[in-house]
Amino acid sequence: MSSGSMSLGSSQHVPECLGIARYRACRRLAIAVAIAGLLGAAPALAKKGDGENDDRGGRRFCSATATAQFVACGSEVLDDFFTATAICTNLSDADERQECTSEARADSKEGNLLCREQRDARRDLCAELGEDRYDPDFDPAHFDADFTSLTHPNPYVPLGIGNHWEYASEDETVTIDVLDETKLIEGVTCIVVSDRVEVDGEIVEDTDDWFGQRKDGTVDYCGELSQEFESFQGDDPQKLELVGIEGSWKAGRDGAKSGTLFPGTPMVGQVYRQEFSAGNAEDAARVLSTSYGFGGDPELDEFVPEALAELLCAADDCVVTGEFSPLSPDGFERKYYARGIGMFLEVHPDSGEILQLVDCNFDAKCAALPTP
């Protein structure tokens, strides 16, 4: 794991803050770390002079970002703990109050552990991407504005208006549609793609994704509006309620920046950020194969329905990526893409769960998709 010049050692992590004295100690430590980080980064953050020598000296911008996010995470854990304490304080029953307080302490411990795991995962990603600032070129001149006439359509992410995909897993269905609708983001024309998740016939997540098409074939992820819904027993009438918009972001808002949904020319070993909204949306991916066909790699074949892969990857030209996020350090999934079809399979190796394509409407192979 890489370690930045502003990193906290294992003996300097933000302590559990379960009392007023410890809370004050935590705040002092957080402030000290933040000040040290700002002082250390000040020369690199100075205004550019001739535009050529701003980043001399090997400044570790990626690691500095990871450290700043670690401090922010610790502060959020503190805030959550004292909010929970306020709730517990107002419980009249002593047993309930004690149980509430115990849960708050346990959540605080878990929160601090997650902060450290996220920091380590971000450092690992820095080791893959390098220490440069993450500041992608989002110049509208590099993007198509007319999705009915693309310069270089990406065959692995076909964004034809009206394209429809339906996926199924053991307990949910996912429906994706390319809408006849665009959204202008920072001057870039992005197509709107609807992504709905249903469980037992009820919509639990309804997302509008915004994708930009670069003229070199790369598909950019420009943001999303993600809405989560839930119904509650005892309500009359029982209706779905909006319970969160976590994970929503847009390039140019609150420091968020676009990412690469899928490269124009994927290369094995290539690692890239798919989105960047600090502490909110930080997915990344690695290209595992650009010539996948069933039977060629036992590891990549694991949990893959053979009939599905043989139908879509007969030419050994499917692309496989591994996706992960520092926000969920233990999470990892493989995604399989077929030329002319797009993503046809998502595999979670740890659990064996899969989400597979069961229907689409824009290619002859759609009618031949096997039933799960």
Could you report the per-residue pLDDT of 38-54, keeping only the tens digit for each?
Answer: 445 444 433 443 444 45
Please tell me the predicted confidence (pLDDT) of residue 233: 85
Spell out the CATH class of 148-368: mainly beta
pLDDT-based confidence at 313, cuts 50/70/90? Answer: very high
Average pLDDT over residues 257-262: 98
User: Is residue 295 helix, strand or coil?
Assistant: coil
Worst-scoring range by mean pLDDT, 56-60, 61-65, 332-336?
Answer: 56-60
- pLDDT tens profile 271-285: 999 999 999 999 999
Give the per-residue pLDDT at 50. Answer: 42
pLDDT at residue number 27? 52
pLDDT band at 238 (very low <50, low <70, confident <90, very high): confident
Helix axes 20-45, 61-89, angle to 10 degrees: 160
Express each pLDDT in 1-31 by its tens digit: 433 333 333 334 444 444 544 555 555 555 4
Residues 54-80 as b/e (b if ≥16 CB within 10 A, e otherwise) read beeeebbbbbbbbbbbbbebbbebbee
pLDDT at 30: 52
Nearest to 41 by CA among 10, 70, 62, 69: 62
Tell me: the pLDDT tens digits for 329-354? 999 999 999 999 999 999 999 999 99
The model's pTM:
0.85
With a pLDDT cut of 90, the percent of the chain lying above it is: 80
Q: Which token pair is 180?
A: 């006849």
When pLDDT is cut at 50, 70 and 90, the band that residue 55 belongs to is low
Instruction: Indicate the residue type of 173.
Output: T
In the chain, which ranges are E strands? Answer: 164-168, 173-185, 188-199, 202-213, 219-230, 241-244, 249-250, 257-262, 271-273, 275-276, 284-292, 318-325, 328-338, 342-348, 353-360
Q: 289 pairs with which residues across the strands?
A: 320
pLDDT at 36 over 80: no
pLDDT digits (tens, 9 = 90+) for 135-191: 999 999 999 999 999 999 999 999 999 999 999 999 999 999 999 999 999 999 999
Q: pLDDT digits over 198-230, tens only?
A: 998 899 999 999 999 999 999 999 999 999 999
How do residues 76-134 score in pLDDT, each as one tens digit? 999 999 999 999 999 999 999 999 999 999 999 999 999 999 999 999 999 999 999 99
Q: What is the pLDDT of residue 155?
A: 98
Cα(235)–Cα(259) distance, integer angstroms: 41
Query: For residues 328, 331, 332 and 335, what is the CA-based torsion angle, rounded to 10 degrees?
Result: -80
